[in-house]
Amino acid sequence: MENKDIITSFSSFKDEKNIDRVTLMAIIEEVFRNQLMKKYGTDENFDIIVNPDKGDLEIWRNRIIVEDGMVEDDNMEIELSHALKIEPDFEVGEEVSEEVKLIDLGRRFVLAFKQNLVAKIQEHDSASLFKRYKSMEGEIITGEVHHIRGREIIIYDDESNELILPKDHMISGDFFRKGDTVRAVIKSVEVRGTKPLVFLSRTEPKFLEKLFEQEIPEVFDGLITVKKVVRVPGEKAKVAVESYDDRIDPVGACVGMKGSRIHGIVRELKNENIDVINFTNNQSLYITRALSPAKISSITINEDDGRAEVYLKPDQVSLAIGKGGHNIRLAGQLTGYEIDVYRDVEVEDEDVELAEFSDEIEPWIIKEFQNIGCDTAKSILDMSVEDLVNRTDLEQETIEDVRRILMSEFDEE
């Protein structure tokens, strides 16, 4: 094998792996010297010159000339008679440099060299990919669906690098086919064996934060800051924003005229309901805004145990809690407080706990009402049938039957 064949055989591999010539030269020399160390125990008497541009590899071995029959180490010493064939005026004690061909080092040496060179280039490629994607954690990346596995989707970026989107990091409404374009945030990069694995996510709060950065110029320019994002992926999210410029309304800038700016983000997130809230250090006001669209009557904050007692009119309780309890849970995550909701009712008003009607109303129906914050008779009677149908999974007929039972308790039938 000619020395230049080494460069030629790896030129296409170099281009495929995007390794620059200087790096390839350094890798070839490092691998070759490692092989020399294994074969001879030293590489100090070898000069290696790699010329990627010329497609050539030069190997020169330096040895000391000794009298014929006095060679003790073939690698470090050369007989005078052999040296005179290289240069006729050499003398004993001088150093001679002789070019070495790969084939002269033996087929086993060449095979091991090639195998180790491939492994080293792949190792370099893996390290480069890991470093590159590790620095991109938390950033959005766009790729194309290459194939779909049982519990994950394999996506290729524009350089055909493999990215993994696990099914449990997809939004409930996500449905992708081969060839579809997907946007996701880089969640983490791990090394398994020698291969770096890049995991994506569309459910992380960071994904929504970065979408704001991409879609809203004021956020991208730093005029508006996204302070915190909390989500129930595909269902509901709350985003606290702040502007340090009094001339900019951060909520209005993010939402846009008639929701024009945020519409693209909502569509990307499969119609996830996004509440944009103006951040404030006034905790009472912050909690009030976080519980929007409910209107709060009063609020008491206990800083010691991190709880907030919120009082609302009966017709506002279900709005504060939200469908499935999403609104109050996200408000608590956004503000950092455990929020307890209480009805602000007049003392003289009589009311009856819904649980008292368990002999007439089935428990699962009572549970449906409690899920939207209606746990007393009047909290249900204060709401319209249409509103109750929209906020629960109950049929209109069932709701009307319940209301008749409750009204009879107050002689309002």
Output the domain CATH number for residue 224: 3.30.300.20
- Asked whether 146 and 110 are in contact (CB, 8 A), the reply is no
The reply to whether 338 and 379 lie within a common domain is: no
- Among 255, 279, 303, the domain-final residue is 279
Does residue 349 belong to any structural domain of this protein? Answer: no
pLDDT computed for residue 368 by the predictor: 85
The reply to whether 273 and 285 lie within a common domain is: no
- Structure tokens belonging to residue 203: 């459910």
> What band does 33 get if pLDDT is binned at 50, 70 and 90?
confident
CA dihedral 390, 394, 398, 404 (to 10 degrees): -50
The one-character DSSP state at 235 is T
Does residue 337 belong to any structural domain of this protein? Answer: yes
- 146-153 average pLDDT score: 90
- Among 344, 362, 390, the domain-final residue is 344
Does residue 92 belong to any structural domain of this protein? Answer: yes
The reply to whether 238 and 267 lie within a common domain is: yes
- Asked whether 388 and 399 are in contact (CB, 8 A), the reply is yes
The one-character DSSP state at 313 is -
What's the number of domains the chain is made of? 5
The reply to whether 226 and 293 lie within a common domain is: no
The reply to whether 95 and 210 lie within a common domain is: no
Answer yes or no: pTM beyond 0.75.
Answer: no
Does residue 372 belong to any structural domain of this protein? Answer: yes
Residue 168 has pLDDT above 80, yes or no: yes
Task: Classify each residue of 254-292 as buried b or exposed e, where b means 16 or more C-beta atoms within 10 Å of its C-beta.
Answer: bbeeeeebbeebeebbbebbbbbbbbeeeeeebbbbbbb
The reply to whether 103 and 25 lie within a common domain is: yes
pLDDT computed for residue 185 by the predictor: 96
Sign of the C-alpha dihedral computed for residues 82, 86, 88 and 93 taken in this order? negative
> What band does 12 get if pLDDT is binned at 50, 70 and 90?
low
The one-character DSSP state at 24 is H
Q: Which domain holds residue 172?
A: 138-201
The reply to whether 313 and 396 lie within a common domain is: no
Q: In this structure, how many other beta carbons lie within 10 angstroms of the beta carbon of residue 162?
A: 15
Q: Averaging pLDDT over each range in 76-90, 93-107, 279-293, which range is the top one?
A: 279-293
Residue 11 has pLDDT above 60, yes or no: no
The reply to whether 197 and 210 lie within a common domain is: no
Q: Averaging pLDDT over each range in 113-117, 168-172, 194-198, which range is the top one?
A: 168-172
Average pLDDT, the chain: 85
Instruction: Give the span between the Cα atoms of 50 and 60, in whole angstroms.
Output: 11
Task: Give per-residue pLDDT as tens, 357-386.
Answer: 888 888 898 888 888 878 788 888 888 888
Q: Could you tell me what percent of the chain has a pLDDT over 70?
A: 92
Q: Per-residue DSSP letters for 145-201? A: EEEE-SSEEEEE-TT--EEEEEGGGS-TT----TT-EEEEEEEEEEEETTEEEEEEE
The reply to whether 319 and 386 lie within a common domain is: no
Output the domain CATH number for residue 190: 2.40.50.140
The reply to whether 325 and 373 lie within a common domain is: no
Does residue 339 belong to any structural domain of this protein? Answer: yes
- 275-283 average pLDDT score: 94
Does residue 328 belong to any structural domain of this protein? Answer: yes
Residue 161 has pLDDT above 90, yes or no: no
- Among 150, 174, 201, the domain-final residue is 201
The reply to whether 12 and 125 lie within a common domain is: yes
The reply to whether 171 and 252 lie within a common domain is: no
- Structure tokens belonging to residue 235: 């269902």
